[in-house]
Amino acid sequence: MIKHLKAIPTKDAAGESNGRLIPIWSSAYDDYRPEQVYVTSVKPGCVKGPHLHLKRAGAFVCVHGDVSIVVRDDKGYHPILCGDKHGYKVVHVPPGLPCAIYNVGECEALVMNMPTPPWKHDDQDEHPVNDWTYMP
């Protein structure tokens, strides 16, 4: 599942543009209930993963830079471009589907992950993905 996010312009007290707000998750309109929120970084040209979690779902959004989040299911590989140049999207990855995060930009990318259940040092729920053949 992909949720497209809309940036909302923000203004200072004088009414001048000073940035934007990107609402990523709200209990008011999202059924997904993250139990943890953290940011991981990916250097330019690098990849995190592929990862496979059997108990943990993830919800990823690139908040700086540009990435391709690639999810594999029984129909193949599904690359989703997101970030500064590609629009902000939350990409939900259910348990049992492997995924990888490729930095396709020129700067270090920052990717927020909102997993459930939370990542724990003593229960990482990370399993090998030996047959990953996707190349960006």
Each residue's pLDDT tens digit, 105-127? 999 999 999 999 998 888 889 99
99, β-bridge pairs: 51, 71
Contact 128, 100 (CB under 8 A): no
Q: Residues 63-73: what's their mean pLDDT?
A: 97
Percentage of residues of the chain with pLDDT beyond 70: 100
The residues spanned by each domain of the chain are 2-113
Q: Please, what CATH class does the domain formed by 2-113 belong to?
A: mainly beta
β-strand pairing of 99-103 with 8-11:
unpaired
Q: What is the pLDDT of the chain when averaged over all its residues?
A: 93
Q: Using the predicted structure, report yes or no on whether residue 1 has a pLDDT greater than 80.
A: no
Average pLDDT value for residue range 37-45:
96
What stretch of H or E contains 64? strand 58-64
**Distance, CA of 89 to CA of 3 (rounded, Å):** 5
50: nearest Cα among 78, 70, 73, 77:
70
CB 118 within 8 A of CB 33: no
Angstrom distances, CA of residue 42 to CA of 20, 22, 78, 98, 120? 23, 21, 19, 18, 21
DSSP string, 77-89: EEEEEEETTTB-E
**Cβ-contact 61, 109 below 8 angstroms:** no
